[in-house]
Each structure stands twice: as C-alpha cells, then as structure tokens.
Amino acid sequence: MDNQAGIIKPGSKSFVFSRFLPRTMQTPSYIAGDDGDHEAGWNIGQRFLDFTFGGDDVVFDRATGLMWAADGSAAGCNNGNLIAWAAGIAYANGLNFAGFTDWRLPNALELISLFDFELPMAPLIDATHFPHTANNHYWSSTTIATDATKAARVKFDVWYSTAALKTDTINIRCVRGGRLNG
C-alpha cells in the first residue's frame, strides 16, 4: 500500500475521476446524494490498487476511476454496522475518511461492478482488497423506479441484487469519484 502514484491525495485540487462510463439511468433524485443526484457510472476490467491515507484503507479502481472504502469493518463501511437507506446516504455524504469528504453511497451498477465473477465460491468480492465484507446485503443509492419506498441492494455471498424497503437496515460501503459534472 506504498505506491501512491496517480492517486489524487487529500488537500489537492479537485479532479473528476469519471471515465464517462454507463450509468443506471436513474434521473429523478428522491433525496440529496442518491443515485439520481450523482448519476455516476462504472466499467468492468482489471483494476484494484490498495492505499492507506491517514490510517484508513482505500481501494482505487483503475477500470472505473472510483475510490472505495476497503475494510468492511472500518468507518468507510459504517464500522460494519447496519443502517437504513436514508441514514446510509446521510452517513456517506457526511463522511470524512482517508482525508476525503466527498464520499457517497454507490449506485446499483457501481456496487455490482465489485462482483468478482471468477471466484469459485462466496464471497464474490476480492477479500484481499475488500476484507471483512459482510455476508449481508449492501445498500446502493438507486431507488427502484416502480416503488420509491424501495432501493436496490447487493449481496456478495450469493451474487445477486434485489430491492428492499428503505427502512430496512443493512450494510454500506462508501465510494468517491465518478461524477460527470465536477
């Protein structure tokens, strides 16, 4: 976690990490900081670089330009605690982690992009880069188009995404970058 070349460090100028990749296409915004507000995207490819800033572990995804909270039991993942959707959005948007304050909840496709389809068994996320990933669902910021009381969630131990009531409490993993408008 020593090689920090090519990473934008805390306190430096603001740069757009997006590579103009596909979005979920959610355009309505139901709450500030949700998928419709950020409209961020992702791509699949060879990708992860590990870094530590201020004692906090992060993973930079070279394929998407996104930076992820690495450790599922650290502050970038709400210390592994379960949280309702709106509270998760607020937590991510208010997070000061690894010296950055522009964290957010990922949209559904960004979260799904973390699936490692080549792993033979659960969890289907690279535990080397993402230790302590819970065998539970993770919230996305994406509201279900046919039911605004629900949001998309991803479960890494069984390789799928479903919807849940926004009042349910599940895990989160914060992300930064991917904004197209600065």
- Does 9 map to a domain? no
Say how far apart CA 86 and CA 84 lie, in whole Å: 6
- Does 91 map to a domain? yes
Of the chain, the percentage scoring pLDDT greater than 70 comes to 75
Beta strands in 85-146 (DSSP E): 137-144
Residue 18 confidence (pLDDT): 45
- Does 82 map to a domain? yes
Say how far apart CA 145 and CA 152 lie, in whole Å: 10
- Does 57 map to a domain? yes
- Does 19 map to a domain? no
Global confidence as pTM: 0.74
Residue 37, phi then psi, degrees to nearest 5: -75, -45
Span 141-154, pLDDT tens digits: 999 999 999 999 99
Considering its fold, how many domains does the chain have in total?
Answer: 1
Task: Label residue 47 by pLDDT band (50, 70, 90).
Answer: low
Domain membership of residue 77 as a residue range: 35-176
- Does 24 map to a domain? no
The domain that holds 159 is classified in CATH as: 3.10.100
Say how far apart CA 164 and CA 182 lie, in whole Å: 31
